[in-house]
Amino acid sequence: EAAVNRIAAGEVIERPAAAVKELVENALDADARRIEVAQAEGGKTLIRVTDDGHGIPAEDLPQAVARHATSKIDGSDLLNIASYGFRGEALASIGAVARLSIASRAAGAEAAEIAVEGGRVGQVRPAALRRGTVVELRDLFHATPARLKFLRSDRAEAQAIGDVVRRLAMAEPFVSLTLTDVSGGGEKVSFRADAETGDLFDALAGRLTRVLGAEFVRNALRVEAEREGLRLTGYAGLPTYSRGAAVAQHFFVNGRPVKDRMLLGALRAAYMDVLPAGRHPAAALYIDCPAELVDVNVHPAKSEVRFRDPGTARGLVVSALRHALAEAGH
């Protein structure tokens, strides 16, 4: 019952970056290898996400924008979730607060599109599209001026969109991601990361160089460890590469960017003896485990997680980092 209530509480699209997160996650769920995000005026007037994923069959388009419609889970096993989305809320929520249009083409099918305005779903029409899906969202909050007023400057909203795209880019090194600012009819690439190749560490090194900078990767230790079904992979900054603030601390659980207090605490604890007070470690760490060992459904924003055995997760992070630091002479 609790899980059902959590889902019913639903997610609210509070700002453009939240919409971008949902749309890019949908593209990732559709196995896209190439995702392009365009935004204008900080996403307030336009957000467009183009992907080369498996698409939506024409007959499923009305269903895709309906509330509580998800193709990803049947509701019987909410703890066993491998995809990003599972509530079937995002497109419906967006359709309620923006002019939404979706054009899509599933393999071997004709392309089609659908539009939603003020929550009213239009007819499915034929469209011209080679493959994948284009979701376009115009005039976010145009019908709710009160919400619009809470948005920050175009620049701040664009920055928040950039943060979301960069975090997802770190989570998915084998996917190509581009973010373009098309404000005022212009076209300026704000972030671009081509699909990485090679083994996981190569790919991560390449992607983290792109997102966090070459200095981070040059000054980071490879981390690899396993404990009771949890696998930890990633890069942890040398003590000399510490920061004056707790930024550049990134955790991913089963491919999802998370902001989890327990994990951040474990990171802090691992460096406690090697960093002076006021200095903070930089790290990009990836934990992977069978879906039943972690509950990602704790919070609608999906950035907190609950491990079945938090002690194991914490112990894994602390010991793996301490071991890597000790090996490097710290």
Interacting residues with Mg ion (CB under 5 A): 26, 85, 90
**SS3 call for 20:** helix
Distant-in-sequence, close-in-space partners of 240: CB < 8 Å, separation ≥ 6: 219
Binder of residue 112, out of Mg ion, ligand ADP, none (CB less than 5 to 8 A by kind):
none
* Residue with the two structure tokens 């066993």: 80
Least CB distance from residue 198 to ligand ADP, whole Å?
27
Binder of residue 33, out of ligand ADP, Mg ion, none (CB less than 5 to 8 A by kind):
none
If the CB atoms of residues 71 and 176 are measured against ligand ADP, the closer one turns out to be: 71
Rounded to 10°, the helix 16-29/90-97 angle is: 140
Least CB distance from residue 263 to Mg ion, whole Å?
24
Least CB distance from residue 105 to Mg ion, whole Å?
19
If the CB atoms of residues 62 and 310 are measured against ligand ADP, the closer one turns out to be: 62
Least CB distance from residue 169 to ligand ADP, whole Å?
17
CA–CA dist 94, 98 (Å, integer): 6
Please measure the distance between the N-terminal and C-terminal CA atoms of the chain and give it in whole angstroms.
49
If the CB atoms of residues 45 and 133 are measured against Mg ion, the closer one turns out to be: 133
Which tokens hold the place of 90? 């995002």
Binder of residue 87, out of Mg ion, ligand ADP, none (CB less than 5 to 8 A by kind):
ligand ADP
Least CB distance from residue 255 to ligand ADP, whole Å?
15
Residues that bind ligand ADP (CB under 6 A): 22, 26-27, 30, 51, 53-56, 64, 69-72, 85-92, 133
The alpha helices in the chain, defined as continuous H runs, are 2-9, 16-29, 61-64, 90-97, 145-150, 154-171, 200-212, 214-218, 261-271, 310-327
Residue nearest to Mg ion (CB): 85
- Cβ burial of 31 (10 Å; 0-12, 13-18, 19+) is exposed
Residue nearest to ligand ADP (CB): 85
